[in-house]
Amino acid sequence: MAPREAARESGSADARPRLSRGTEQGEPTLLYVMKQVELAVRSALDDIVRPDGLTALQYTALTVLERHPNLTSAQLARNSFVTAQAMADMVSALRDLGLIERHRDESDRRRLVLALTSDGRKLLGRYRDQVAALEDRMLVGLTDRQVVRMRESLLSCRAALTGHLPQ
C-alpha cells in the first residue's frame, strides 16, 4: 500500500509524505502555487470580461447563478467565495446592469432569491468560448488523463478543507 493510502486508512496525517511542502531547493509549496494559479486566472478573467464593465468575481457569481438558480444572497456569497458584504455590493452592481433579478422563492415566499435575467444568460453565452479558451491555455501542457486526475485531486482537496469528504 502506498504511503498516502496508508495514511488515509489509518487517519494519520503524520504518515502522509511531505511532498506538498516543496523541496530543500526552495520550490514553492502547493498552496503558494495554487494561489499563483488563482491570481493568474482571475487576472485573465478580468481582462476577458472588462469590456462589459465586469470583474472576474462578478462573472463567477453569474456562472454560479447559471448552475444554481434561485440562491439567496448569502448562498451566492458562499458559492462565489466572497463575504456577505462583498456580495451585497456585487448584487447591487449586477442588478443595476440588468444581469440578475431578485424575486420571491416559489417554495418559501418569505425568502428573496436571485436569478439570471435573459441579458445575464446572453452575456455568459458571449464569454463562454473565451473562458473555455483560457482554460484550454491553462491546461495546454497536460494530457486528457492528467486533466481528469487534476480535477479529481482538486475536488478531493476542496472536500478535505470544507469537511465534505466522500462517504
In this predicted model, what pLDDT tens digit does every residue of 127-161 receive, in sequence order?
Answer: 999 999 999 999 999 999 999 999 999 999 989 98
**Which amino acid does the sequence have at 149?**
R
SS3 track for 123-149: HHHHHHHHHHHHHHHHCCCCCHHHHHH
Give the pTM: 0.78
Average pLDDT of span 77-102: 93
- The model's pLDDT over 121-136, given as tens digits with 9 standing for 90+, comes to 999 999 999 999 999 9
- Using CA atoms in the order 58, 64, 70, 81, what is the torsion angle rounded to 10 degrees? -70
Q: What is the pLDDT of residues 28-70, one digit of tens each?
A: 999 999 999 999 999 999 999 999 999 999 999 999 999 999 9
CATH of domain 28-134: 1.10.10.10
**Boundaries of every domain in the chain:** 28-134
Cβ neighbors of 8 (< 8 A, separation 6 or more) are: none
- Find out whether 61 and 90 touch, Cβ atoms under 8 Å: yes
